Amino acid sequence: MPIITLPDGSERRFDHPVTVAEVAASIGPGLAKAALAGKLDGRLVDTSTPITRDAALAIVTDRDPEGLEVIRHSTAHLLANAVQDLFPDAQVTIGPVIEDGFYYDFAYKRPFSTEDLAAIEKRMAEIAAKDVPVHRRVLPRDEAVTHFKKIGEHYKAEIIEAIPQGEQISLYGQGEWEDLCRGPHVPSTGKLKAFKLMKVAGAYWRGDSRNEMLQRIYGTAWPNEKQLKEYLTRLEEAEKRDHRRIGKELDLFHLQEEAPGAVFWHPKGWALFQQLIAYMRERQREAGYQEVNTPEIMDRDLWVQSGHVEKFGENMFMTRTPDERTYAIKPMNCPGHIQVFNQGLRSYRELPLRFAEFGKVHRYEPSGALHGLMRVRAFTQDDAHIFCTADQITEESVKVTELILGIYRDFGFTDVRIKFSDRPAKRVGSDEIWDKAESALKQAAAAAGIETTLNPGEGAFYGPKLEFVLRDAIGRDWQCGTLQVDLNLPERLGASYIGEDSARHVPVMLHRAMFGSLERFIGILIEHHAGRLPTWLAPVQAVVMGITERQENYCREIAEALKNQGLRVDLDLRNEKIGFKIREHTLKRVPYLLVAGDREAEGRTLAVRTRAGKDLGSVALDEVTTLLCDEVASRGRLVLEDRVSQRRSA
């Protein structure tokens, strides 16, 4: 008879087989009511799952990440149930859980309208309120195909036909409605208390543009109404911070159909882009990196040798020249850096050797996945590769980690999570090499004193990695920096150095990026700061404006003096009322507005206002210049505003 071991190490003994739900009830009525699923020997199962042998069991509730996933998966079924109740001719296809929610694809004779979504959501609420028990049954594969064809669900039948012969097929249902699914699901529809349908979009069957177009309904689901409301509030805030809208308002960049996934940078946006590069150049120089530059187009054979064509070829752009050679536009910088390393005989005394590049790379992304600066086809990486010995992995990894975290603090990101991504299914190199690489990276993370969470199977095809995830001002997570240990590519591309023993050795290669993509990082910065970038980053740091034409010469002199100090300054001498000009530049999120009237011109001062609307009063021109330069140099501190405010308070 089963002995059940609970997460706290305690045991419960039963003299008969029990279900997960019965174990929860034996612990307490509160847990029995909260139970959504079980984790049986590490496997997520329904609460109705029988336990006939000794096992480890955790009861999953809506407090657990797995519980939220079960809620969303079950809400996708609730959506499909409601659609087929209201539109019996609609066929269901697939409905997975996605970040913050779920979707379900439907085949139907006409597009779903906004009114349809409201009706579907209302029907979902009705089914949930009835607290209908969720049931499961299993059919042989061929019987399941016949069943779905009989009820006119041809998409489901096609999915099952792709499953190998002899497999058992599970079906989940509530009441008379039923659907193909692996599960698990909540015990009853009453567990689904907080959901909302968000939008409807087109989607090709199986993601193939050659197939028929389906309708995809997106929704979100949460354990309770409070969390749902918080999520919807975050969405509203995210909409206000959308980098595409702000980028247009601030005249930073644009995208157009003639160059899908590539950015047209305007002067102000390019100034921001170059500021990031200048900043990173300085930090990398201080950290001992040497900057290199490698070709954007290289012979396809090199990418075959590196393994990129086999593992990444579908995302690469290829071109064939009149001389019948095939070239690839580089999707990554690593093979190019190995070519630089391979020039000349290298000694262990040169290691670690740190090469950095602001390399333009191109990767094919489906057009439907493109999203402003966040998902593009042409982007610039702040890429670096460290060639070192095995004994240097830990020290170099600690240095990289400290550098990355320090850089993020400069940009206003203090909440950083780090994931450890181990070997993917699609990879190069032997298991022995992967064992060594993963062990080395784990040791390095421990030496750096950082906590990591496992991100299984998400390593690069050539090595495991640490992923640095930033949490922004409204609680969203962005994966940016990476550190990867690679024992594969250097060997594949013939890299070696002469060791202390006078023999040839293959170097370890650490792949490192901090921004990741400069384009994407700029998008994240814009949204994190809602366009109000710190003074040192702002495309325009100050604008000088006169009240009347009489101050024109003085304003020109000020603007020129500030520009000579390396500040990015605009001059506004338009024949407009000063209130209009102040409002316009405030909306453009310029950090400081410097206003000159007759009194300011005579006393060689400036009336200083902040973009937040704070009036700092009259400040001497020399002091404005000094404090603005100090604020830019401080990378983030409000030197001008703070010092003037302190002086006035005193």
Catalytic (active-site) positions = 334, 363, 381, 383, 385, 465, 511
Q: Residue 473's closest CA among 526, 536, 540, 550?
A: 526
Tally of CA atoms within 13 A in the half-sphere of 383 that contains its CB: 24
CB 61 within 8 A of CB 34: yes
What is the spatial distance between Cα 67 and Cα 222, in angstroms, rounded to a whole number?
A: 10
The DSSP code for 58 is E
Question: Do the Cβ atoms of 341 and 353 come closer than 8 Å?
Answer: yes
Amino acid at position 356, single letter: A
Per this entry, what is the length of the chain?
650
Q: Extract the tokens encoding 283.
A: 């930090």
Q: Within 10 Å of residue 76's Cβ, how many Cβ atoms?
A: 27
Report the C-alpha gap between 120 and 102 in whole angstroms. 15
Amino acid at position 405, single letter: L
Nearest to 204 by CA among 171, 157, 160, 155: 155
- Alpha carbons 382 and 385: distance in angstroms, whole number: 10
Single-letter residue type at 481: G
Secondary structure element (H or E) that encloses residue 51, with its range: strand 50-51
H or E element, residue 408: helix 393-410
> 3-class secondary structure for 189-229?
HHHCCEEEEEEEEEEEHHHCCCCCEEEEEEEEEECCHHHHH
**Cα–Cα dist 297/583, whole Å:** 48
Q: Which amino acid is at 524?
A: I
H helices of 420-470, where?
431-448
Distances (CA, A) of 393 to 7, 292, 334, 437, 514: 36, 22, 18, 10, 18
| Three-state helix/strand/coil letters over 156-177 | HHHHHHCCCCCCEEEEEEECCE
352: preceding bond cis by omega (within 30 degrees): yes
Secondary structure percentages of the chain, helix, strand, coil, to 5 = 40, 30, 30
**What's the burial of 513, exposed, middle or buried (CB within 10 Å: 0-12/13-18/19+)?**
buried
State how far the Cα of 443 lies from the Cα of 435, in Å rounded to an integer: 12
The residue whose two tokens read 């349809």 is 116
CA dihedral 559, 561, 567, 571 (to 10 degrees): 0
CA 605 to chain CA centroid, Å, is 46
DSSP E strand boundaries for 84-193: 91-92, 97-98, 101-107, 134-140, 168-174, 177-180
3-state secondary structure of 114: helix
Contact by Cβ (8 Å): 48, 187: yes
Q: What angle do CA 21, 195, 126 make, to 5 degrees?
A: 80
Closest CA to 74 of 41, 558, 82, 308: 82
